[in-house]
Amino acid sequence: MERETRKVQKTGKNTLIVSLPKDWVRANGINRGDSLILEYLPEREHMIVRKNTPPHKKSCEVIYQKNESWLVREIVAKYVQGYDTIKAVGLELWDIRRRVKKDLESILFGVNITDGENFLEISVVGASELIDMKDIAERCCSLVSAMIRSLVDGIASKDTRILSAVTEMDDDIDKLVLFARRQLNLRGYETFPTLREFRKVVGYNSLLQKLETMGDCVESVAGHSIKLLDERTKAGNVMVLQDALLKLGKLVDSVRISLSINERDAANCIVDESIAFLNVQLESLRRALLSTAQKTALVMTNIVESLSMMAQTTKEMGEILLDYLT
């Protein structure tokens, strides 16, 4: 990395200026009248200067060759890589186009999909707009919390429609996690002014992967809870399950709050309370299994495994907050 020393000069009454290095100006095609983007952190001395150029829109083409799942994976990969327009060609059959379009709409965030005669064109809406990774992480925390609340309400009211709707909320989390990966690729690692800022984004990315796991676990519990209600499980066992879910919901809320207040004590509490959940609440559920019929016990066992995974994941989220984000 080249380094130069430049003297700060004063022009007018209150304006300070620094001249730009000639070699850098030439290399980046800077001309009089061009605008530059300055990125800086108030608490740091570093600043990034770059030319304000319209974002280059990337487009690509994917040929349908093997099967629908293969095609969907290829399109999702191009989306994550930062392509703004993806054209899937070779789709002669309408029913294949319909199924692929439906799959993509359930996976991708912020896209318009045009159905042509033998192709699909996927256009990313607002492709050049970068959204803060922290905002995405907070939104995913809120979605997981909402999923858990819906799950508790569905169990309390014995309403399978509420439990089934939890799946749709998990789809929203999956979309946001893919969108975050796309944002990271669009921004590029070289734009981070300090190693700490880069580490924070790595932390947000890791946190989002954990939230995606949480969403999958809540969806699994919702599916098994429908079977549990069908088996007319004892009210006491249902109450123990509700209490466990409410505790996990509070832990996810604590993750969101910790992101906002940036406090290590809050992150440490998440780790401690997750460990306590694994040692106390789960034991209560396991004891409840002893008093249930064999068929119900199998469903409860699957639920306990998902709850155990959720608690382990909240513990890991607390550790991510400690390692990267506080």
**From CA 51, how far away is CA 49, in angstroms rounded?**
7
Is pLDDT at 235 greater than 90 in this prediction? no
Nearest 5 degrees, angle CA 60-CA 65-CA 68?
90
For the structural domain made of 133-325, what CATH number should be given?
1.20.58.220
Q: Which amino acid is at 203?
A: G
Mean pLDDT of 275-297: 81
**From CA 255, how far away is CA 326, in angstroms rounded?**
12
Find how far residue 115's CA is from the centre of its chain. Answer: 28
On whether the 59-124 domain is CATH 1.20.120, my answer is no
Mean pLDDT of 44-54: 62
Is pLDDT at 36 greater than 80 in this prediction? no
* Residue 162 or residue 189, greater confidence: 162
pLDDT at position 206 is 94
pLDDT at position 42 is 52
* Residue 164 or residue 49, greater confidence: 164
Contact 244, 282 (CB under 8 A): yes
Is pLDDT at 43 greater than 60 in this prediction? no
pLDDT at position 89 is 95
Summarised one tens digit per residue, pLDDT across range 116-149 is: 989 999 999 865 556 688 899 999 999 999 999 9
Instruction: Reduce the DSSP state of residue 10 to 3 states and report it.
Output: strand
In degrees and rounded to multiples of 5, residue 273 shows phi and psi of -70, -30
pLDDT at position 212 is 96
Structural domain boundaries in the chain: 9-51, 59-124, 133-325
Summarised one tens digit per residue, pLDDT across range 153-163 is: 999 998 999 99
* Residue 92 or residue 297, greater confidence: 92
- Per-residue pLDDT band at 215 (split at 50, 70, 90): very high
- Per-residue pLDDT band at 231 (split at 50, 70, 90): low
